Structure 1
Amino acid sequence: MPVTKAYVIQLFIGTLYTLALAGMLIAALVSMPVIISPAMGQQLGVLPWDQNAPSDTTPLYWTLGVVLVCALGLFYRALMRVVAPAKAALKPGYHAVTLLYLLAMAYGLAATVTTAFTPHYRDCGIYSQKLNGGWRQYRGQQLRVELCGAGPAEQTRQDRIRLRIYGERGELRALRHFTVQWGRDFPTLLEYSSDHLSYFDASDEDDFTRLVAMPPTLGDWIHSRLPLLD
């Protein structure tokens, strides 16, 4: 069988196997509420979509990441075995295509997993009023700052917040996610300066101040449309 044909077939089969593995991992996490108690799930960090789950789901995502990296590593090894008989002049091209494809797949899988377990943000009007959102004018532009929350966790009182900044025509200009801490002496209100707004992320108390340019930049516009960058 020609190397190119074998490579395409292996690429297709490997993609199916990797997607099947990712699907099984997501299905396993979705079934967690049925298998284990909510209290244990929150403690283990395996219910990231639950409003009462801990705000730090980093260990869970690291575990999923390691599993997917191992799967992609095996995928890469299988493809390299297929192209081993190819001419030496063609091998760099196969390597480059394979690496680009696997990078794109890794990003797509990571974005899918994080998006699937994003909490349900709600009560935007209440949160916007409570956290000092609303309409602001910068350099002659009308900008609407919208804040929505997932609801405070019962034990920690931490609340995951989605911050969106819209232009006067309703187009999304910037997107951020952060955590506020209710019931403690911790800043929660947004603060506005001449060229930026500040918000305070309780998930990192050592360096909790975050800035967003006002009006938002082109980079903010791009980040708001690419998963994992906000």
Structure 2
Amino acid sequence: MQTSRKNVKRIYVAVAIFIVFAFVLELTGVKILLFLIEYRLAVVRLIAFVFVIVIAFFILKSEAGWKGKLSIAIFLMLGVYACVCFYDFVLPTQYTRCDLYSQKLNGGARILNGKNYKISLCGTGGDDMQSGDAIRLQVFSDAGVLLASRHFLVNWNENSPNSLEYRPDRITYYDNNGRVFEKHLFMPPTALDWVRARIPLLD
């Protein structure tokens, strides 16, 4: 009888430990997922940096000739790009409220050099301090074909210009993420712009 009670107690303890362990794992997983989403760009850069180190190590340690080393470098770089693209696919940046951002940043229907374009702007929302709002700028033709895509950062808590400015041959946008604050998308978009808008991480 006592042995039976001990077995039941052991089962209860094991179940309780399992529930606590599962809860901790789930909570940890959620925290990790939130961390990856919050610091997505930093994580991607870290992954790319690690893979660059790995590439350099394999190339230096390889006994193959320069053609073999070049093949290794190309293969590993394609692997890096594939991994980063997969990460971007699994945890994509969520750009929302396109109508609101297009209105706030001076987007919408435009006529440049006699051609009709639709300038669409969407954002991620930024942080609690209204900074770090990642913006996606897309240029569509009158028929709705994506012609070009750019990304930039807006800090709404600063007095610096944010809205797009238009000239017949360019669209000027202001990026708070980098050394060059004033950037241009030349119009009409080129074939390279069309290609860049369709290749992950190059737009």
Shorter-chain TM-score above 0.5 = yes
Matched with 2:48 is 65
- Take 1:186 and 1:115, find their aligned partners in 2: how far apart are those partners? 33
Q: How far does residue 101 in structure 1 lie from its aligned partner after superposition?
A: 2.4
TM-score (norm 1): 0.65
* AA in 1 matched with 2:30: V
Q: Which of residues 151, 157, 181 in structure 2 aligns to 1:208?
A: 181
Contact 2:153 2:177 in 1 (8 A): yes
TM-score (norm 2): 0.72
Mark the runs of 5 or more structure 1 residues left unpaired by the alignment. 1-30, 42-46, 85-90
Higher relative contact order (CA 8 A, sep 6+): 1
- Take 2:152 and 2:85, find their aligned partners in 1: how far apart are those partners? 18
Call closer, same or farther: CA 1:32–1:149 in 2, change over 3 Å.
Answer: farther
Summarize deviations over 1:42-74 as a string: whole Å, max 9, x none. Answer: xxxxx3x34xx6xx934x333212333345566
Matched with 1:34 is 30
SS in 2 for 1:170: coil
- Take 2:180 and 2:28, find their aligned partners in 1: how far apart are those partners? 33
Q: How far does residue 150 in structure 1 lie from its aligned partner after superposition?
A: 0.5
Tell which deviates more after alignment, 115-124 or 132-141.
Answer: 115-124
Q: Kindly report which structure 2 residues correspond to 1:1-230, keeping only aligned pairs within 5 A, or say none.
A: 34-35=30-31, 41=35, 47=36, 49-50=37-38, 57-58=41-42, 60-72=43-55, 80=62, 94-204=68-178, 206-230=179-203
Rg larger in 1 or in 2?
A: 2
SS in 1 for 2:92: coil
Tell which deviates more after alignment, 215-224 or 108-117.
Answer: 108-117
- Take 1:71 and 1:159, find their aligned partners in 2: how far apart are those partners? 33
Q: How far does residue 209 in structure 1 lie from its aligned partner after superposition?
A: 0.5
RMSD: 2.9
